[in-house]
Every structure is written in structure tokens, then in C-alpha cells.
Structure 1
Amino acid sequence: MKLITYCIVFLLYLPVHAQLVVTSSLKTYKNGVKKHPEKELIDIKKAIPGITLDIRYATTNNFMKEVMYPEARAFARKPVVEQLKKIQAELRKQGYGLKIYDAYRPYAITQAFYKKASDKNFVANPAKGSIHNRGCAVDLTIIDYKSKKEIEMPTPYDSFSPAAAANYKNLPPKAIRNRDFLINTMQAHGFKVLANEWWHYDFNGWQNYELLNIPFKSL
């Protein structure tokens, strides 16, 4: 009897791991938006017509070397898009603009990335989910608005090089200036750069948004 009691007490004190909650139901997502309008996923191009999209995962021009998205579209939560709109307007005054590589990413794509990627350090672990899955992360750079050409940055997008780090120093001065200009501009509007990816920015308060697995076609 004492042994049974001991075992019950032991089981009660075992660590409990919270199950990851991912919203896959379009109805559940829409009901959430009705209660909290700021949680709506907004089509970035429709909200900011002058912005440039280069959705690499809708092509084979990406580190996976295969098409991961069925459509070349970019979505983000409403407050994220509102800030991107302000950034775009600010850059336009200086002759620049934003180019978006990636934004909201359905959870199923994060699972596919992790399964197929050879280097797991550069992809989000599905066990935790990605901030892209929450619609609160954007991958982007700055372009010359007229020519649409990217300004010089430390590395190409999705580079696995150490030079991709946001504080890497052994670079041409112009690349450092441009990178820091982007980082400071984004930071002033509520974004934080990812330490090992100069192009990746997380929106402050991303913890308040749930993980989503809503496909682009449903949006």
C-alpha cells in the first residue's frame, strides 16, 4: 500500500510539458479575429501597394532548392502591417523602399523545413513553432525605389555564412552602414533583428499571437 501511495505522489510531481497549440481551423481563426481585430492576417501587398515582394519560397531560388509555397503572397498581423506601412513611407522620402522575402508562414511549412533542412540551426523547431507561424516575423531588405535593386548588405538572403549575423564586423563599411540603417529603422518601429540573420525581424509582443496553420488560399 505504501508503495502504491509513493508511486501516485511521484507521478503527480513529474514535469508536465504543455502541448503545442496550433490553430488550423479557419473558423476558429475568424472567430478570434472578430474578438480581437488586431489578430487579422493582412495581405501586405494590398495594404502597401508600393512595397516589393520577392517571395523566395514560392520559387526554387531558396536554400531548400524547391517550391515550398503554392502562392507568392505575404501576410502579417494587422499591427505588423501598420508599422511596415510607416517604414515604407519613411524610406520613400529617402528614395528607398522595402522588399519582402517572407512573412506569415503556415505551421505545416515549418514542419516541412525542419524535416528537409540539412542544417537544423537555421530553421525553426516545430516543437516550439516559429514567430513566422504567428504572423509576427518578416524577412526583408531595402531597395532603391526607382531601380528596385537591393542596396548592398553583408550577405544574400538566407545565407548560412557567419557574416549574416546582425553584429558581424569584418565587412565592407557600406554593407555595415546599410545593415545598421535597416536594423535601426526596424527597431524604431517595434521590431527586433534576429541575432544570426540580418534580414529577419520579430515584432514586439509576438507572444500575444497564436501559432497558425491557415494556408494562403484560405486567406
Structure 2
Amino acid sequence: MRGIRFCSVVLAAVAAAAVASCADNPSSPAADETAFVSVTELDSTIVVDARYFGEHNFIGARINGYEAPKCLLTKDAAAALVEVQLELRPMGLGLKTYDCYRPQRAVDQFVSWAKDLGDTKMRAEFYPTVDKANLFRDGYIAEKSGHSRGSTLDLTIVALPPADQEQYHGGDPLRACTLPADQRFRDNSLDFGTGYDCFDPLAHTSSPAPSGSQRALRELLVNLMNEHGFKNLPEEWWHFTLKPEPFPSTYFDFPIR
């Protein structure tokens, strides 16, 4: 039934795409790292676009703890993600990750940045309609993140093989993440209605504002991820957490190497 429901949407989207310790439960660094795996070691066809390793993110600089452009996840979460990829491949589609395990030091940097109301360097792209003073109130920034527990990730769907993606360089003109796909940053993702890390109600998974095909792609991603144990965060169509989590109360802080 899912294939019938989404077939036309997926085909149209494919065509368009041709466009160190934890805070709550300390553990040794060695134990932390051995509990994780790089997803591309399990499936090299999963695309990794490590946004926080570079400058194209809402802060506009590489984030603390990101020493390599990898997607690290707990072994359970990585194995489940590979199962999602196997379901997408027959459709000519695949997954692309934006962020996976996130060291606590990176979350601390986000919090410090959010408190500095004068730093709006990247506002024009990532939060064009939201007052930075409200990022905590509206739930976009928090002092703890599920990403630091190792089983949460941000991702999208791309056509296989992935189209070339625009390269961002510091100081490039910014384009609002809420613009139509052909006007915002030319990501090689299918069109889900907003860019990644878009602090805007339009990015809420069930927002009625996106087009029918954009809403259908969100539903496809949510359904596939749900089937393999991942639950979506309603405020972000790209954000999913494996349930149950292997480390539900552990916030790791080892760097991504």
C-alpha cells in the first residue's frame, strides 16, 4: 500500500532532485567510543553531509568536537538505519545524514551562541522569521540534546546516485531556508519543503503549508523510519531517535575523530 501511495510522488521527487564523559552517567572514553560505529562502515551508499564539520550551519563555523566528517551512531541505531536504506534502494533513493552523534561540548557551544543575541551572522538562511531571543522558548536550542546520547540523527532522502551539491564558502550570500527549492541553497536532497536546520514552523513535520508532494515525502520518511524503530521530533521533519535508546540517560562528550 505504501508503494502505491508514494510511487508517483517518489518518481516526481527523483526527477526534481536531478536538481568525555557524560553529564548524567559518566563512562570511560574507551567505552564511549567502542559503543559507536560510523554508518558508512556498515553501508557505504549512505551519504554523509556533516554540516557541523564545516561552516554551512546556523553558527557559521565548524562546531566543537567535530574533527572528522562522519556520522557516528550507537551500533543499534546504525544497524536500524541500514535497514531503512535497504528499503529505499529499490526506489532509486537513499539516505543522507546531516548530523548524528553530537558531543556535549557542541551542544554547549550552541547554548552559548543562542545567548549571544548580537551574533546573527547566519540568520538570513537558518532563522529568517524567528527572533533569536526566542530560540530557547520555541525549543530550537536546549542545554541537552538526544544527539549526545548517540541514537538520534538528522537526515533526508536523496536520489541515487546523488546529484552534485552546491558548495558553501564562508561569506557566500545567504538564502532563506523557507524559499522554494530552486531559490534556497542547492542541497541534493529531495524537496521536503525547507532546508536543513530551518528554525521555522514550516519545518514542523506535520505543517500543512508545504505542497502535497513535500508533505508526502515527509510522510514517507516518517513511516520508513518508524518501521525500523525511529521516532520523529514533530518540530523538525529531519530529526529521528531510535526507541528504545541504548543509552537513554548518558550524554557523551568524546570528539568525532
User: TM (normalized to structure 1)?
Assistant: 0.80
2:253 to 175, 190, 213: 213
Distance in 1 separating the partners of 2:216 and 2:54:
30
Distance in 2 separating the partners of 1:208 and 1:67:
26
Which of structures 1 and 2 has the larger relative contact order (alpha carbons within 8 angstroms, sep 6+)?
2
Q: Is residue 25 of structure 1 aligned with residue 28 of structure 2?
A: yes
Q: Is residue 110 of structure 1 aligned with residue 107 of structure 2?
A: yes
Tell me if structure 2 keeps the 8 A contact 1:23–1:214. no
1:181 to 213, 220, 228: 220
Distance in 2 separating the partners of 1:158 and 1:199:
8
Tell me if structure 1 keeps the 8 A contact 2:74–2:246. no
Q: Which amino acid aligns with 1:214?
A: F
Q: Is residue 152 of structure 1 aligned with residue 191 of structure 2?
A: yes
- Structure 1 stretches of 4+ with a deviation exceeding 4 A read none
Tell me if structure 1 keeps the 8 A contact 2:73–2:150. yes
Of Structure 1 and Structure 2, the greater strand share is in: 1
1:172 to 208, 211, 232: 211
- Offset of residue 28 of structure 1: 4.8
Q: What is the 5 A alignment of 1:129-144?
A: 129-144=144-159
5+ residue gaps in structure 1? Answer: 1-18, 34-39
Distance in 2 separating the partners of 1:163 and 1:137:
21
Of Structure 1 and Structure 2, the greater helix share is in: 1
User: Counterpart of 2:44?
Assistant: 49
1:4-55 superposed Cα distances (whole Å, 9 cap, x missing partner): xxxxxxxxxxxxxxx942536314536xx6xxxxxx1011111211110101
In terms of Rg, which structure is larger? 1
1:56-87 superposed Cα distances (whole Å, 9 cap, x missing partner): 11111111111112221110001101111111
- Offset of residue 177 of structure 1: 0.7
Q: Which amino acid aligns with 1:29?
A: D
Distance in 2 separating the partners of 1:94 and 1:27:
39
User: SS state of the match for residue 212, structure 1?
Assistant: coil
Q: Is residue 203 of structure 1 aligned with residue 242 of structure 2?
A: yes
Q: Is residue 77 of structure 1 aligned with residue 95 of structure 2?
A: no
Distance in 1 separating the partners of 2:74 and 2:105:
18
User: SS state of the match for residue 225, structure 2?
Assistant: helix
User: TM (normalized to structure 2)?
Assistant: 0.69
